[in-house]
Each structure stands twice: as C-alpha cells, then as structure tokens.
Amino acid sequence: MTEINDMTPGVAGLQTRLVIETITQVVPGAEIVEIVASLDESISGFDAESWAAPGTEHALVHIRKRVVGILGVQNAISSFSCVVSGVAWGVLVEPIALQDGAVIGALVVARQGRVWSSRERALTRAFGGLLSHTVTLASRESALLDQRRLDELVGMVAERLMSASSRNRQDVLTWTTRVLAEFLGADVAFLRRNDHQRGLSILEAEWPPRDIPRPDPLGEVPFDADPVFAATKNLRKPYLAGVDGEVDYLERVEKGSGVPLVGGACVPLLLSESTWGVLGFLHFGLHKWTVEELSALQAIASMLVQLQARIDAEERTEYIALHDDLTGLPNRRSLLRELEVRLAAHRETAILFFDLDRFKVMNDFLGHASGDRVLTTIADRIRTSIRPNDFAARLGGDEFVILVGDVGSEMEVAATAYRLLGVIGEPIDFAGQEVTHTASIGIVLSTPGMKNGIELLGWADVALYAAKRQGRNQAVVFDEVLRESVSERSRTELTLREAIEGDGLRLHYQPEVDLRTGKLLAVEALVRWQHPTRGLLPASAFITVAEETGLVVDMGRWVFAEACRQLAAWRREYPDLPLVVRVNMSPAQFVISGLVEFVENCLRVHRIPGERLCIEMTEHAVLQEPEQTARILQGFQALGVEVAIDDFGTGYASFTELKHLPVNFLKLDQTFVQGINSDPSDKAIVEAIIQLGRALDLGVIAEGIECSATIDKLLELGCHRGQGYLMSVPMSPDELAPVLRAGAIEISKFRPAGKVAPALSERSL
C-alpha cells in the first residue's frame, strides 16, 4: 500500500514535507498538520489499527492524546471544532484520494481557537488536492517498483526452475518456497500436490523448516478434512483464506505448525484438466494481497507445473530405460546399477539367476500371448515373494535375476532359492487348463572386495547352466569346480582365438554315401583344432566355447573359405567327380550381416558353382531370427547353394516354418539314428522325419551310422543317404584321397552277407 508522509523517500516525501511546511506558514497558527495517506498506517495522531481493520475504514483523530474525531473514508468530514483540556480547537479535514476517486487518507490541519476563513479552507483544499496528486504519482511509482521487483522475482525463480531436474527437485522446491515466503513477507510458504486417486493433498515442500510431529497432520491430508483442503482439490484460481468459518483448518495448522491465527492464500498449479496442487502462503495476522502479487504467483505456479511435467517426462524416460516393458520389473541395466551399488557398499548379496525350463517349447505350444502371460504371472509372483531388501529384475526372455540382501549362509540362500522355485513353479491357469512348468536357478554369493557385477552375473549364469545340465528344476551354487571350468574356458577362448588368427585350424571331411550302392554323394567339412598341447581336437571339444564367445563367426569364415579352396583343388584333381561339400554354420553367423555376399565372393574367387556347396544349419538358427534367416536362405538359393537342417528332430522347428523356407535336406540327428533298432520312439521319430521329407520334397540324410543293422533299417524306412563311423570317420584331405579317386566306398563290406538290399526295391528308387 502506498504511503506518504514526511519520511517518504523520493519526490513524494519531498512534496509532503513541502506541504506541511507551507501549510504552517500560510495557515497562521496551524499547530497540527497530519497526513494519512494510507488507510493501513497513520502518522502520529491516527489510530492505525482501527483504520486498517477491514470493514472499518476509519481513523481516529487525536489532539493532545485525546480522541477528538473519527474520520471515515466514505464520509470524510471537512471540518469540526472540539475542546481539549478547556481549549477550543478548529480542525480542517481534506480527503486524499487517488485519481480514480478512492479515498486513501486525509490531510488534517488543527489549530487553537480560531474560525477558518474561506481562504484558509481553499488553501487547505488545494493542499489536499496536491497531496492527492502526489499520492497518485507515488502509488504509480511504487506500483511500478513493486511490479519490477515481482518481475525480478519471477525471473529469478524461472531461472532456478529451468535448471532443476529430478535429482535436485526437492531442494529447488524448498528454495522456491523460501524465496517466495521471504519476498512476500509470508510466515509460511508451502507446495502441496493433489493425489486425486487417493483423495489426498500431499505436502511437497515448505518454508520455514519445522519440527514435524509424527504423524504429521499436514503431511497427507484428505481433501474432505476441512473446507480449505476441499477448496484446494479442484482449485482453478487463487483462493484467499480469511480467519472466519475455517475453524477445522485453523486447528489443523495450529497442530502442525504451532501457529494460531492465520490468513492465507493458495494459488493453483493447473494442469490442463485438473489441479496438480497448490502453492500456499500463511501470514500470522493479516496480509492484503495485491492483484500483481497473485498474478506473479500464478506465473510461478505455472512454471512449477511445467517443471513437474518435465521431471515426470524425464522420470518416465528413465523408468522406461530401466524397466522391462512386459513385466514392469527392472531390466538388465537397472540390475547392474543396483548390483554395483550393493558391491560398492560392501553389502553381502546373493545373486539368484533363474530361467524357466523349456520355456521355448511352452511359448511355441501356447502361443506368444500366453507365453507373455506366463512371464508376467511369474514376475508378479517374484515381486510378491521377495523381501524388502531384495531386488528382482528381468534380463529378457525367460531369464530373471533376484539380488538377495542380508544373506546368511549358503544353505539359507539355497533354501530361499528352493522356496522361490516352489512359488514360481505353481501351475498357471489358462481358461481352466493348468499349465505346469519348472525353473532352474544359478546362485552366486558375492565375496568381500568383489567389484565386477557383470562377472558375478556371468558366474551365476554358469551355475544356472550347471543346474540345467543336472536335470533342471533345481538350484546350483557357483563353487570352486565351476570356477575352475570357467577359467578353463577362458584359457580355451584365449588359445582358440590364437588358433583362428594363426594357423591352428584344420578341416576334416566325412563321406556321405548312397547306402544302397556306396557311391560318394558328398563330404561334410568338420573343423578340427591342432591344439598346441592337447593334440588334434574334434569340433565337439571347442565349438561351444567358440559359439559362446562369438569366436565362431571368425572361425566360420575361415572354415567356409578353406572348404571352398579345398573343393576347388579337388575339382581340378577329380574333374569327373560331382562332389558336394557340406559346411556347418552356427546360428551366430546368421545374425552377422553380409553372409550371403561373403559366400558369393568365395564361390566366385574359387570358381565353384553354387550347387556344389551345401550349408548345414541347426534348427536354432532357423528359429532365432526367422525373417532374417529366411532372407539369407533365399540369398543362398539364388546362388544355387543348398541348405540342410542339421541334427533335425532335436529342436522345435515346425512344419509350417520349414514349408516356407528354401531348404533341401534334413539331417537326422544321430541319437535317433543310433536308437533306430532298439528304441521304438527313435524309430517312430526317424520314420516321421522321413515322411516329412517326402511330403516337403526334401532329401533325408542319416548321420551317426555305427552299425550295419542301422543301414538296413534306414533303407527299409526309405532313407538311402547316410554317413557315420561305420563307413568312414572324418578324414584329412590326404586320407580322403582314395575315396575320392574311387568315387565310392565299398558298402557291401558293411552289410550282412547275402542280404538283398531294399535299396534295389522300387520304393527307394
């Protein structure tokens, strides 16, 4: 509120002093000249309290400390006389008004005895007018000043809010309440958030700090607690709370802050549809809010909403980055972060790494939507069965990890793991049909000083695979034996890398023959490693390491190029032999781009027609990236290169998947072939695959033939292509030379004498 008196600084104060001096000179005998230019305050002689109280709008005129009159805003009297201590006084009153006519004070001139002449009255009026003018100017000036200060305040808050993030949000909000409280002279400032779902107003930040009672009556307050909180629920414009009729509210504030009588204001933080919360201020006693203050606060409120929206968006992005879409559990990145924090704090942690047994089969069988339901159900079960100090994450697929805090003994951790296996393994209901499943768990206990979370996870993974190998549905703790196997594996990895980069690999070739005639149909290239200390190793001794470490990609390139080089040499040496070389490729090779181009290039360099080569791939490669694999296979087909599905029957490739892929051969897995005469189900599988081959017009090759009875059975079932130790082990090119020269092996050697080969029957022709 603008105030002028002889102490007012600037032009207004100067003019006021001038008026007072001039009046005493031009109005002879004027003893008391009083100016009240604000209805809030008074200079000597006026009772500020009574004038300022809302609704009263009057002031008392004192002479010699005695009340002689009451000045009202609406009915300002122009003059009166009175007697004080036996002395008569004449009092002249001139209203001081703003330009819009609002009376905001009065010029009072009093002197003893004499009657006022009309000149004196006119002069006083003129001075009143002058003061009105002065106060108008002063109020404009101070409004401008106030506005500038408010603008500065808004600017300062804006700058701070702009640089805030979710990390320092709390500090910035508290800082904002402090700055606003100080600027507005408020005794308390606070920011509350509306939780519309729970029907609560929640304290977010406040100033000054207080001793918070427990429970805090101001912490989370239901909207229906009292009319003030009810008003904040859907507040759309500033709300000014007085002292009347809000008894409940005042009691609550008193209980929470110890402050009895307050007046307050709430400015809403508006989201488009709803009220996000309120920015509130309390004054002990009363405070008159100006329109400018309230609109500055509204501006700040809207910046706070923007800040919150930005932080929400940041948090959402962060949430997405750290959580798994499907189950809502933390993801791998979040797990590693948590693990690192725990390790850094030397908190003993057990890692339980688990994986559903045969999830892939279940997923294929039930369909993806139901597979997802299995995963979300299991995630929910994990969430509800872990303790507050545990941390659960989904790594992807059917792999979950639980970090168990406060670990006791290894036995206790194992007990926890088995308890979880029980919870997870409970059947899941699909529309009345119960689906049962099990899981396996690998456990690692962190040791003091262990820092590398990724390494720990790797160990848990090793233990998990041990659990799978040992028959699934169990938990295995990573121990010394497993640790030794890991180091053994890293040593293998190291030397294998050297072998691939150097000259350590060889290719051996195993003949595939017509079981009826012994005619050589193809050779399968099988990689061998000339190990520096362990001698020549078969692929089975190192292919898993190569696949797990990714070395198989480089190895595969060497194998294919070498097979092409060798085939080109043989084609020169045995130009009449229509030899086909079959080369194995691992799933990892199918995900690396440029495979078809690489094959094409090798064929061109060695001038080999595509149909002389056949790529063997397992069902896993078919299944892992079906679309990309299909594209690659089409690329091979365009080059004339044939494709065989190796170890067929062990994976889960379905008839429909095969039907759409350009595949030429199915290779019966050797376990079925070897059981063909002893195990009826092996025989049934072989029979079914041979029939599938017929239906799809695919050649069927039996591998792993170790005895002559197998040949008979295969021929009886209609399969006449075969390879196996019985006829020939894989051999080096030199060792293979006699077979190549003959273009056949002597098959009759391996058949019981005198037996008529069904090969000659019509069916197999």
In the complex, the smallest distance separating the C-beta of residue 702 from ligand C2E, rounded to whole angstroms, is 10
Enclosing H/E stretch for 144:
helix 118-162
The DSSP 8-state label assigned to residue 222 in this structure reads E
Q: Counting contacts by CB under 6 A, is residue 670 touching ligand C2E?
A: yes
In the complex, the smallest distance separating the C-beta of residue 554 from Mg ion, rounded to whole angstroms, is 19
Instruction: Write the binding mask 305 to 334 for ligand C2E: x where contact by CB under 6 A, - elsewhere.
Output: ------------------------------
In the complex, the smallest distance separating the C-beta of residue 470 from Mg ion, rounded to whole angstroms, is 25
Q: Counting contacts by CB under 6 A, is residue 85 touching ligand C2E?
A: no
Q: Round the CA-based radius of gyration of the chain to a whole number and report it.
A: 47
Q: Counting contacts by CB under 6 A, is residue 704 touching ligand C2E?
A: yes
Indicate the residue whose CB is closest to ligand C2E: 539
586: partner contacted, choices Mg ion, ligand C2E, none (Cβ within 5-8 A by kind): ligand C2E
725: partner contacted, choices Mg ion, ligand C2E, none (Cβ within 5-8 A by kind): ligand C2E
Nearer to ligand C2E, 35 or 595 (CB): 595
Which residues, numbered 641-660, are part of the site for Mg ion (CB under 5 A)? 646-647
Kindly tell me which residue out of 206, 616, 642, 682 binds Mg ion, with binding defined by CB under 5 A: 616
Sheet holding 391-396, edge to edge: 391-396, 399-405, 349-356, 439-445, 475-477
In the complex, the smallest distance separating the C-beta of residue 568 from ligand C2E, rounded to whole angstroms, is 18
Q: Counting contacts by CB under 6 A, is residue 540 touching ligand C2E?
A: yes
107: partner contacted, choices ligand C2E, Mg ion, none (Cβ within 5-8 A by kind): none
Any idea of the CA torsion for 535, 536, 540, 544, to the nearest 10 degrees?
70
Nearer to ligand C2E, 228 or 543 (CB): 543
Nearer to ligand C2E, 336 or 747 (CB): 747
Kindly tell me which residue out of 261, 725, 748, 763 binds ligand C2E, with binding defined by CB under 6 A: 725
Decide: 399 and 354 in contact? Cβ < 8 Å.
yes
Helix (H, G, I), strand (E, B) or coil at 411: helix
Which residues, numbered 497-556, are part of the site for Mg ion (CB under 5 A)? none
Q: Counting contacts by CB under 6 A, is residue 539 touching ligand C2E?
A: yes
Beta strands 87-97; 103-112: pairing state: antiparallel
Q: Counting contacts by CB under 6 A, is residue 556 touching ligand C2E?
A: yes
Nearer to ligand C2E, 246 or 646 (CB): 646
Hey, what are 428's tokens? 């899941």
Which residues, numbered 502-521, are part of the site for ligand C2E (CB under 6 A)? 510
Q: How many residues in the chain?
A: 765
Which residues, numbered 376-435, are part of the site for ligand C2E (CB under 6 A)? none
**Rounded-to-integer distance, Cα 728 and Cα 742, Å:** 14
Nearer to ligand C2E, 461 or 703 (CB): 703
Q: Counting contacts by CB under 6 A, is residue 730 touching ligand C2E?
A: yes
Beta strands 220-222; 200-207: pairing state: antiparallel
Instruction: Report the candidate in 354, 454, 468, 336 with the shortest Cα–Cα distance to residue 413.
Output: 354
**Rounded-to-integer distance, Cα 305 and Cα 393, Å:** 33
Q: Counting contacts by CB under 6 A, is residue 647 touching ligand C2E?
A: yes
Residue with tokens 């720990």: 456
Hey, what are 257's tokens? 């802050």
Instruction: Report the candidate in 490, 491, 489, 464 with the shortest Cα–Cα distance to residue 478.
Output: 464
Q: Counting contacts by CB under 5 A, is residue 584 touching Mg ion?
A: yes
357: partner contacted, choices ligand C2E, Mg ion, none (Cβ within 5-8 A by kind): none
Which residues, numbered 567-626, are part of the site for ligand C2E (CB under 6 A)? 584-586, 616
Which residues have CB under 8 Å from 58's CB, separation 6+? 50, 51, 70, 71, 72, 73
In the complex, the smallest distance separating the C-beta of residue 724 from ligand C2E, rounded to whole angstroms, is 3
Question: Which of 24-32, 69-77, 529-537, 612-620 is the region at the interface with Mg ion (rule: CB under 5 A)?
Answer: 612-620
**Rounded-to-integer distance, Cα 28 and Cα 404, Å:** 95
Instruction: Report the candidate in 47, 24, 43, 116 with the shortest Cα–Cα distance to residue 78.
Output: 116
Neighbours of 200 (CB within 10 A): 18
Nearer to ligand C2E, 416 or 584 (CB): 584
**Alpha-carbon distances, residue 15 vs 9, 10, 22, 30, 129 (angstroms):** 10, 9, 10, 18, 12
Q: Counting contacts by CB under 6 A, is residue 552 touching ligand C2E?
A: yes
**Rounded-to-integer distance, Cα 50 and Cα 539, Å:** 103
In the complex, the smallest distance separating the C-beta of residue 670 from Mg ion, rounded to whole angstroms, is 6
Q: Counting contacts by CB under 6 A, is residue 675 touching ligand C2E?
A: no
# chain residues binding ligand C2E, by CB under 6 A: 24
**Alpha-carbon distances, residue 572 vs 567, 568, 579, 732 (angstroms):** 9, 6, 12, 18
- What's the angle, vertex CA 294, arms to CA 289 and CA 296, rounded to 5? 130
Instruction: Report the candidate in 683, 684, 682, 642 with the shortest Cα–Cα distance to residue 666.
Output: 642
Decide: 37 and 2 in contact? Cβ < 8 Å.
yes
430: partner contacted, choices Mg ion, ligand C2E, none (Cβ within 5-8 A by kind): none
Amino acid at 376: T
Q: Counting contacts by CB under 6 A, is residue 743 touching ligand C2E?
A: no
In the complex, the smallest distance separating the C-beta of residue 611 from ligand C2E, rounded to whole angstroms, is 20
Hey, what are 311's tokens? 């932080």
Question: Which of 139-147, 210-218, 607-615, 698-706 is the region at the interface with ligand C2E (rule: CB under 6 A)?
Answer: 698-706
Footprint on this chain of Mg ion (rule: CB under 5 A): 584, 616, 646-647
Footprint on this chain of ligand C2E (rule: CB under 6 A): 510, 526-527, 538-540, 543, 552, 556, 559, 584-586, 616, 646-647, 670, 703-706, 724-725, 730
